[in-house]
Amino acid sequence: MPTVLVTGANRGLGLEFVRQYAAAGWTVHAGVREPASAAELAALAASHGSVTVHRLDVADDASIRALADALAGTPIDVLLNNAGVFGPKPGADRDLRQQFGTLDRAVLESVWRVNAWAPLAMAEAFVEQVAASAQRKIATISSSIGSIGESRAKGEGGLYAYRMSKSAVNVAMASLATDLAPRGIRIGIYCPGWVRTAMGGPRAPLTPEASIAGLRARIEELDEASSGRFLRWDGSPVPW
């Protein structure tokens, strides 16, 4: 039975990852900041004996290290860096603080810590568990908003904190694909699409079920040739 560790597993895409992997018979380790408040995840764990919920704050290096120590010796086939934050959102926050003219260093740093630093820190902390597994995969959920080529083609600007963090994690994971190739570890970088979640909003055209089904297929087919590539949930390439 393969094993997956999912970060940010309490809602949205993370919760759907847990649901689908558990239904497929995987052993699932689900990391969340506050397990006591993750009611839907707790219900999933109660109905699937293969799901274990762990306290994990990916913005806290000590929390990452503590979970890595707790799971030492446990092979992890797929390390799934799903946790992410958008930062202040248009229409929801009076002062966006990630538009030019109102930029806030604290916002940039907090978004970067979760979206860009945490996946790399997770990879460092869990590399031995991944290397000991049969599949040896690390998958990171990014966004086409971090694509320089696509943003330029669409004439998009703003959203500096989120956009910069996703561009940063893309290059970090591409570099990781090179560094970990000698150990047989493959790196997937994926855009889930515009999904109907708390982050994506109710107007998003894609359901979590469809997005995660596509992403799971991409992770399943991840191999040496596709390692380090930036792909959408449906398998189409995203420009850097």
Q: What is the pLDDT of residues 5-35, one digit of tens each?
A: 999 999 999 999 999 999 999 999 999 999 9
CATH number for 84 = 3.40.50.720
- Count of domains forming the chain: 1
Residue ranges of the chain with per-residue pLDDT less than 70 = 91-95, 198-200
pTM metric for this prediction = 0.95
Q: With respect to residue 187, please indicate whether it lies within any of the assigned structural domains.
A: yes
Question: What is the model's pLDDT at position 93?
Answer: 65
Q: With respect to residue 237, please indicate whether it lies within any of the assigned structural domains.
A: no
Q: With respect to residue 239, please indicate whether it lies within any of the assigned structural domains.
A: no
Q: With respect to residue 238, please indicate whether it lies within any of the assigned structural domains.
A: no
Question: What is the model's pLDDT at position 88?
Answer: 82
> Residue 162 is inside which H or E element, if any?
helix 160-180
Residue 83 structural domain:
3-232
Question: What is the model's pLDDT at position 147?
Answer: 96
Q: With respect to residue 120, please indicate whether it lies within any of the assigned structural domains.
A: yes
230-232 β-sheet, strand order: 51-55, 27-32, 3-7, 78-81, 137-141, 186-191, 230-232
Question: What is the model's pLDDT at position 133?
Answer: 98
Q: With respect to residue 149, please indicate whether it lies within any of the assigned structural domains.
A: yes
Q: With respect to residue 106, please indicate whether it lies within any of the assigned structural domains.
A: yes
- What the block records as the tokens of 222 is 């991840």
Q: With respect to residue 54, please indicate whether it lies within any of the assigned structural domains.
A: yes
